Amino acid sequence: MTDSFVDSYEEITRVRVQDPGRIGRLLRARRRRTVADTDGSLMIVAADHPARGALGVGDRPEAMASRTDLLDRMRAALAVPGVDGVLGTADILEDLLLLGALEDKVVFASMNRGGLQGASWEIEDRFTAYDAEAIAQAGFAGGKMLTRIDLADDRTSTALQWSAEAIDDLARHELIAMIEPFWSSRTAGKVVNDLSPEAVIRSIHVAQGLGATSAYSWLKLPAVADMERVMDATTLPTLILGGDPGASEAEAVYAKWRSALARPNVRGLVVGRTLLYPGDDDVEAAVGTAVQMIR
């Protein structure tokens, strides 16, 4: 067996059966790119929703069900000039690694995917994916944690503690902790995030106070109204997330991104479904539009 990349999805399965050690060897040999190697602004493509059981995009409840279709879209997005890297769980990142799509990319690892969409324990986001040691061994730039705050759910205190511990562990490895906070509540059994400026500001203050150091802490925030006031709540580097808009809302979302990117502590975008599953299915065009906003 050789440590070459694969040319088909069938070969990915074959490597996983016959030579799983190739994944580790390719990780060690990968051409790595760090945040310091960029111009200070980042365009990151995200694909960690499936691991939380969240497969829907807009009015398509099973949009992300096909792994090969998702990988096709990820590869197309990562090939667009100006895209810096990717955020994902191990299964997706290792598929992309075998396909050669992680070369010279900044990679962020998703850490807590245990808060399954629709679960009674959803707020209690257990760290079921990467930990700091695994991220360091893989040579990735950092780890992302979803940190939802529901004052009516006792599990929130546990989730906050786990996030604080992960931030400290990442800092010990000198890795970025990308914290994605939301002020949340449960409505008719469904966890709903409050996207008012006031709620986002509260979530920022809680998130940036987690851990024994904020030296390596970044934020991942939604683009909401009054971003000048929202971003005045922090000095932490911040990436703006995409969310799950309908096809008819794309232009409104782009306008919010442009407004957010005008703030000096906003350092780029980390977007998944909005760019990978645009209304017209033109992934390259959607990603290109996002890149132009940053560059």
Amino acid letter at 88? G
Asked if 51 and 175 sit in the same domain, the reply is yes
Q: What is the pLDDT of residue 252?
A: 83
Asked if 161 and 242 sit in the same domain, the reply is yes
Q: What is the pLDDT of residue 244?
A: 63
Report residues of the chain scoring pLDDT below 50: none
Q: What is the pLDDT of residue 13?
A: 98
Q: Give phi and psi for 5, each to the nearest 5.
A: -75, 165
What is the rounded CA–CA span in Å between residue 292 and residue 275?
Answer: 13
Q: How many CB atoms lie within 10 A of CB 4?
A: 12
User: If we measure between CA atoms, which residue out of 259, 209, 257 comes closest to residue 235?
Assistant: 209
Q: What is the pLDDT of residue 247?
A: 54
Asked if 2 and 93 sit in the same domain, the reply is no
> pLDDT for 72-113, tens place per residue?
999 999 999 999 999 999 999 999 999 999 999 999 999 999
What is the rounded CA–CA span in Å between residue 208 and residue 214?
Answer: 7
> DSSP readout, 25-49?
HHHHHS-B--GGGS-S-EEEEEE-S
Asked if 12 and 55 sit in the same domain, the reply is no
Asked if 49 and 10 sit in the same domain, the reply is no
Asked if 98 and 148 sit in the same domain, the reply is yes
Asked if 14 and 129 sit in the same domain, the reply is no
Q: What is the pLDDT of residue 245?
A: 58
- Sort strands 176-187 and 190-194 into parallel, antiparallel or unpaired: antiparallel
Asked if 26 and 40 sit in the same domain, the reply is no
Q: Specify the pTM.
A: 0.95
Beta bridge pairs of residue 184:
193
Q: What is the pLDDT of residue 3?
A: 84
* Domains contained in the chain, number: 2
Q: What CATH number did the domain enclosing 216 receive?
A: 3.20.20.70
Q: Give the range of the structural domain holding residue 24, as residue numbers without chain letter.
A: 1-30
Cβ neighbours of residue 21 closer than 8 Å, sequence gap 6 or more: none
What is the rounded CA–CA span in Å between residue 104 and residue 89?
Answer: 18
Asked if 6 and 45 sit in the same domain, the reply is no
